[in-house]
């Protein structure tokens, strides 16, 4: 066994094996932000793995072999912390063409050729915590204190739509670090977000894409929340950090 690796199961979790990538995922300080592994919804053999200090790795054969992506920085302060594929940019069995990768300290990078090349999105959040894609909009929470590289951007919640980035952080916590994020796929205007752990416990909901917000009575120190994809009236939440 090695200190760092990607594990794979083909029997529903009854057994696991190491794939031999041997790259560090993250450190303990930033364990609460992610996700740093993503599988292409249009091709389960294509996997993105975001390392701590060595860039982005891509596998095209279910994790048996890996290559380092071109155009992704390798000297990030806290590595690659989140990523998401655009399922609508490809076809089943042929793979997705568009994917977004958050590189801490630098910004969000995008590929439109299935990962062959990446470019930085100008004005994108520099220290990402969570990333969601719904209705053609890319939502990103930002934790400024999670990085060491200098940035003029504030913590909060940002959205990329109509080819521009906009800060849509709830006014009561404007400028504060935000982490947990959930967006309904069936209704991309419906958003729930929460303050970053160690910053606060307030949670907020918007029904109009971030134009207005209401504070929820339920508060928790949470780093991640998500809607049940089979029943979007249900919300799952992690507690603690």
- pLDDT tens digit sequence for 158-197: 999 999 999 999 999 999 999 999 999 999 999 999 998 8
**Tokens standing for residue 183:** 């967006």
> Whole-prediction pTM value?
0.91
Which range, 4-13, 93-102, 143-152, has the best average confidence (pLDDT)?
93-102
Residue 52 confidence (pLDDT): 83
pLDDT band of 147, cuts 50, 70, 90: low
Over range 12-35, report the average pLDDT: 78
Report which of 77, 80, 59, 76 is spatially closest to residue 68, judged by C-alpha positions.
59
Mean pLDDT for the chain overall: 89
Over range 80-96, report the average pLDDT: 94
Over range 93-103, report the average pLDDT: 96
Q: What are the DSSP E strand ranges found in 175-238?
A: 178-183, 191-195, 203-206, 214-215, 225-228, 231-237
Residue 4 has pLDDT above 80, yes or no: no
Residue 2 has pLDDT above 70, yes or no: no
pLDDT band of 26, cuts 50, 70, 90: low
Span between the terminal Cα atoms of the chain, in Å: 27
Residue 94 has pLDDT above 70, yes or no: yes
């Amino acid at each position: 066994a090695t200190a760092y690796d990607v594990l794979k199961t083909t029997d529903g979790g009854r057994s696991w094996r190491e794939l031999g990538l041997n790259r560090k995922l993250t450190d303990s300080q930033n364990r609460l932000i992610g996700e740093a592994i993503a599988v292409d919804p249009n091709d389960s053999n294509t996997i993105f793995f975001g390392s701590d200090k060595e860039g982005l790795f891509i596998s095209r054969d279910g994790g048996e072999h890996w290559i380092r992506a071109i155009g992704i920085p390798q000297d990030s302060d806290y590595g690659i912390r989140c990523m998401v594929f655009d399922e609508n940019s490809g076809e089943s069995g042929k793979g997705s063409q568009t994917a977004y990768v958050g590189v801490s300290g630098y910004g969000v990078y995008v590929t439109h050729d299935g990962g062959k090349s990446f470019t930085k999105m100008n004005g994108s959040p520099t220290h990402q915590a969570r990333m969601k894609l719904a209705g053609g909009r890319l939502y990103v929470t930002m934790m400024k204190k999670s990085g060491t590289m200098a940035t003029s951007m504030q913590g909060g919640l940002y959205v990329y739509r109509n080819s521009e980035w906009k800060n849509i952080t709830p006014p009561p916590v404007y400028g504060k670090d935000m982490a947990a994020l959930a967006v309904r796929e069936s209704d991309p205007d419906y958003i729930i977000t929460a303050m970053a752990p160690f910053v606060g416990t307030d949670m907020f909901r918007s029904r109009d894409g971030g134009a207005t917000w209401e504070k929820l009575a339920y508060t928790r120190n949470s780093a991640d929340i998500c809607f049940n994809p089979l029943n979007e009236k249900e919300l799952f939440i992690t507690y603690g950090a």
